[in-house]
Amino acid sequence: MSNTLLMPKATAIWLVDNTSLSFRQIAEFCALHELEVHAIADGEAAQGIKGVDPVLTGQLTREEIDRAQKDPTHKLKLAEPKVKIPATKKRKGPRYTPVSRRQDRPNAILWLVRNHPELKDAAIMRLVGTTKTTIESIRERTHWNAANLQPMDPVTLGLCSQIDLDMEVQAAAKDRPAEAAEGPRLLTPEESLSYARELEQQAAAEADSDELDADAVFAKLKSMKGGDESTTD
């Protein structure tokens, strides 16, 4: 447990909203891409997820946050756990859902399908206690109530725990095939700035070249005019 951050996205949301840490520091601590942290700060990602204070959960100390805020190069370190929590076994069968919560399952399934497309149907079934037929109907928009469904976090609805969700997401990430080495990709912030500087330098060089060419043309015209006047005399 000491080497694993629980609820990384929820922790990232809290750090973005409550600290002055850089996006890079938050991304490295929460094992997220820096652009994903940018999207969280802009409200474009992790919508519907409630932020979790890592200090209250014992995963980070206030002193560590203060140290990182003063030094942008400092990397946050997980706090040593005060209590040893036994490893949680992966659930094999579907989760039992109370009758009062069953009407919320379609909304939770829609949230999981949209926010975690890497999850297989079996994982979603374990998390919210649903059936493969229901998942397919929601994914294909053929559910009888599809027009009224709203994506809602299953953790907030009480259908599963954040630990169970994180375990399923991590397991799905391990099973995901490696991305191809070639192909288009997003530039990192450093690459974007470097590319912008190159464009500015190129534009400035072309502008200087145009000015030099214009001066040379005017000088040549002036010399030709002077030659014509001497011939006339």
Q: Kindly state whether residue 184 falls inside one of the protein's structural domains.
A: no
Q: Kindly state whether residue 129 falls inside one of the protein's structural domains.
A: yes
- 104 and 159 belong to one structural domain: yes
Q: Kindly state whether residue 169 falls inside one of the protein's structural domains.
A: yes
Region 36-64: what's the mean pLDDT? Answer: 87
Q: For position 146, what pLDDT does the model report? A: 87
From 158, 175, 192, give the residue that closes a domain. 175
Residue closest to 13 by CA, chosen among 36, 41, 34: 41
Q: Kindly state whether residue 116 falls inside one of the protein's structural domains.
A: yes
Question: Torsion angle of alpha carbons 16, 20, 21, 26, nearest 10°?
Answer: 0
pLDDT surpasses 60 at 1: no
- 65 and 127 belong to one structural domain: no
Q: pLDDT tens digits, residue range 116-142? A: 989 999 999 999 888 899 999 999 999
Q: 21 burial class (0-12, 13-18, 19+ CB within 10 angstroms)?
A: buried
Number of domains in the chain: 2
pLDDT surpasses 90 at 112: yes
| Mean predicted lDDT score pLDDT of the chain | 78
Region of residue 3 (left: phi > 0; alpha: psi -120 to 50; beta: else): alpha
Highest mean pLDDT among 12-26, 30-44, 183-197, 216-230: 12-26
Residue closest to 121 by CA, chosen among 104, 103, 140: 140
Residue closest to 129 by CA, chosen among 107, 158, 159, 153: 159
Q: For position 161, what pLDDT does the model report? A: 87
- 124 and 58 belong to one structural domain: no
- 46 and 109 belong to one structural domain: no
| Structural domain for 117, as ranges | 99-175
Q: Kindly state whether residue 114 falls inside one of the protein's structural domains.
A: yes
Q: Kindly state whether residue 91 falls inside one of the protein's structural domains.
A: no
Is the Cβ–Cβ distance between 105 and 128 less than 8 Å?
A: yes
pLDDT surpasses 70 at 163: yes
